[in-house]
């Protein structure tokens, strides 16, 4: 995201830690008391970060009673009449285009109602410049949350600080400001960015003159692994972000921009060009040995990792042992670990186009701290059998052929590994996404199950997977009845 001279300057308060859900609710109530029609709150952060909890507490405080406040996940918008005026609570997760925001009437509500908007990235250019931005992220403590607030309209200055002062259990500043002071980035403006599936949170820091950097916060406190792998990659002229400074739980990183492959791949031609750039990066990555300290993706490790598909997606634990015992020798024969680094989450949401660079360095790498030593086919199947977006068959075929041409790998053996690892990866995803729904109420992940299932069915046709077919055929497809059965088990 660029910062131009005409962009309004952002203000921010110190990064906050809300130690308990009640502390989050206290701050929501204190901020709610400051709101009036025309105020817009944009609440970002990952699933389970605390956005909805904050909104419910704020809405109840304005209604003046313990009224039920349903999630707008499926209705998209819930409207309320409060003593402070009309209030709209919107959850835009399921929207795919800003035009749908206009159809909801939300753009009009920005001018005459109090608006609380979750997943505000869907607004794109429709996001009001005078909005208050709240970015939530999880911490190492299950009940605690990090919160950063930023705004450009000065009318928020006194109201934000009044809310912070009024909260009965005030949030406390973290060590972030001290870290930024030590590394010379104190006083920079902070702009929250979308996070990933982990508890990590990210902010873009902006200094006068347009200089920018990314601040990463890791609630586990362990940023060392990310930094070590980033340095390994950059030493091989691959475009991981440079590590500018580090402390416990904090990294200051090079800003690689916002040009995500997933956003740019809007035509078949662009998609194929981008994906072939990603293949160049994989070829270069695989040309050198992996760090010896990486965990190894052994056949036993990969076979055991499908367990959640039989315990959470389908409640068929009796079938699990047979599935693992059948899958293990297939993985050993067709997809044994090799001396290469597997980034694991190598897909369009984690890749950036860097126009000013050449060759493999044009692919910016974002998510690699869970890397393993494994088989060369793993990351390519992660890229081309993406569960979050449809990849054209022609693009997939071009990527496989480009990798084979560049590496000289045996086509038959590579395609067998590609199919076997594709099924393993997507069985695991089937289970992980179901577990997120069943144990943590993150039902949005269920939307990806049909595509995940279709990848499994397609790749099960490879002859190498014939011994597994009788077992996989017993799993139910993610049709409406089965999705409803999963939902019935969700909290």
Please write the tens of the pLDDT for every residue from 98-108. Answer: 778 788 888 88
CATH of 175-255, one of 3.40.50.300, 3.40.50.150, 1.10.40.30, 3.30.200.20: 3.30.200.20
Per the DSSP assignment, residues forming a β-bridge with 193 are 202
pLDDT band, very low/low/confident/very high, at 196 (cuts 50, 70, 90): low
Sign of CA dihedral 105, 109, 111, 112: positive
Q: pLDDT averaged over the chain?
A: 89
CA distance 103 to 87: 18
**Is 261-487 in the same CATH topology as 175-255?**
no
DSSP states of 348-400 as a string? GGGEEE-TTS-GGGGEEE---TT-EEE-TTHHHHHHHT-SSS---HHHHHHHH
| Structure confidence at residue 158 (pLDDT) | 85
Residue 3: is its pLDDT beyond 60?
no
What's the chain's length in residues? 491
- Asked whether residue 162 carries a pLDDT value surpassing 50, the answer given is yes
Task: Please tell me the chain's helix, strand, coil percentages from 3-state DSSP, rounded to the nearest 5.
Answer: 45, 20, 35
- The yes-or-no verdict on residue 41 having pLDDT over 90 is yes
Q: What is the CATH number of domain 13-171?
A: 3.40.50.300
Q: Is the pLDDT of residue 316 over 90?
A: yes
Q: pLDDT tens-digit profile of 267-312?
A: 999 999 999 999 999 999 999 999 989 999 999 999 999 999 999 9
pLDDT of residue 14: 53
**194 exposed, middle or buried (CB, 10 Å; 0-12, 13-18, 19+)?**
middle
220 falls in which pLDDT band (50, 70, 90)?
Answer: low
pLDDT at 468 over 80: yes
- State residue 170's pLDDT score: 47
Decide if pLDDT at 1 tops 50: no
Dihedral pair phi/psi, residue 323, rounded to 5°: -65, -45
- Residue 2 has a pLDDT of 35
**Which one of 1.10.1380.10, 3.40.50.2300, 3.40.50.11310, 3.90.1200.10 gives the CATH number of domain 261-487?**
3.90.1200.10
Predicted local confidence at residue 73, as pLDDT: 77
- Give the confidence band of 12 by pLDDT, cuts at 50, 70, 90: low
> What distance in Å separates the CA atoms of residue 16 and residue 139, rounded to the nearest whole number?
11
pLDDT at 175: 66
Model pLDDT, residue 5: 35
Q: Element (H or E) spanning 406, and its range?
A: helix 393-407
Q: Which of 216-230, 378-392, 408-422 has the lowest mean pLDDT?
A: 216-230
**Interhelix angle for 317-334 vs 411-440, to 10°?**
150
Cβ atoms 214, 205 nearer than 8 A: yes
Give the C-alpha separation, 434 to 439, whole Å.
8
> pLDDT higher for 90 or 20?
90
Please compute the mean of the pLDDT values over residues 236-262 and round it to a whole number. Answer: 94
How much is the average pLDDT of 377-381?
A: 98
Token pair 């001290």 is at which residue? Answer: 178
Give the pLDDT of residue 194. 67
Domain ranges of the chain: 13-171, 175-255, 261-487
pLDDT tier at 70 (50, 70, 90 boundaries)?
confident
């Amino acid at each position: 995201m660029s910062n131009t001279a005409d962009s309004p300057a952002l203000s921010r308060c110190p990064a906050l830690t809300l130690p308990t859900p009640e502390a989050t609710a206290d701050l929501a109530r204190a901020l709610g008391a400051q709101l009036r029609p025309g105020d817009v709150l944009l609440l970002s952060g990952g699933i389970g970060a605390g956005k909805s909890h904050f909104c419910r507490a704020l809405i109840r405080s304005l209604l003046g009673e313990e009224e039920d406040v349903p999630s707008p996940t499926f209705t998209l918008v819930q409207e309320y009449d409060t003593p402070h005026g009309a209030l709209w609570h919107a959850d835009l997760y399921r929207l795919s285009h800003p035009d749908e925001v206009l159809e909801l009437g939300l753009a009009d509500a920005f001018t005459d109602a109090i608006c609380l908007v979750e997943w505000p990235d869907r607004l794109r250019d429709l996001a009001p410049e005078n909005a208050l931005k709240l970015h939530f992220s999880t911490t190492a403590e299950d009940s605690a949350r990090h919160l950063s607030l930023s705004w450009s309209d000065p009318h928020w200055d006194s109201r934000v600080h009044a809310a912070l002062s009024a909260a009965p259990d005030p949030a406390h500043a973290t060590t972030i400001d001290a870290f930024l002071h030590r590394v010379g980035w104190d006083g920079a403006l902070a702009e929250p960015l979308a996070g990933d599936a982990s508890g990590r949170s990210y902010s873009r820091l902006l200094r006068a003159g347009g200089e920018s950097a990314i601040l990463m916060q890791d609630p586990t406190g362990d940023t060392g692994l990310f930094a070590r792998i980033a340095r390994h990659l950059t030493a091989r002229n691959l475009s991981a972000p440079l590590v500018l400074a580090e402390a416990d739980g904090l990294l200051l990183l090079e800003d690689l921009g916002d040009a995500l492959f997933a956003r740019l791949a809007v035509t078949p031609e662009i998609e194929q060009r981008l994906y072939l750039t990603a293949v160049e990066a994989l070829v270069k990555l695989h040309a050198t040995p992996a760090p010896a300290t990486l965990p190894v993706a052994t056949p036993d490790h990969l076979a055991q990792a499908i367990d959640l598909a039989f315990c959470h997606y389908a409640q068929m634990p009796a079938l699990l042992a047979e599935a693992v015992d059948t899958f293990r020798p297939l993985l050993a024969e067709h997809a044994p670990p090799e001396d290469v680094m597997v980034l694991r989450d190598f897909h369009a949401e984690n890749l950036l186009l860097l126009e000013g660079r050449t060759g493999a360095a044009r692919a910016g790498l974002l998510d690699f701290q869970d890397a393993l030593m494994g088989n060369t086919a793993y990351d390519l199947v992660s890229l081309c059998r993406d569960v979050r977006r449809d990849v054209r068959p022609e693009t997939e075929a071009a990527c496989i052929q480009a990798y084979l041409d560049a590496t000289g790998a045996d086509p038959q053996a590579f395609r067998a590994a590609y199919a076997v690892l594709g099924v393993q990866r997507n069985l695991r995803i089937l289970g992980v996404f179901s577990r997120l729904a069943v144990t943590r109420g993150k039902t949005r992940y269920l939307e990806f199950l049909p595509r995940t299932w279709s990848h499994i069915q397609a790749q099960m046709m490879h002859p190498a997977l014939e011994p597994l077919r009788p077992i996989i055929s017993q799993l139910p497809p993610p049709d409406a009845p089965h999705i409803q059965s999963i939902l019935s088990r969700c909290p």
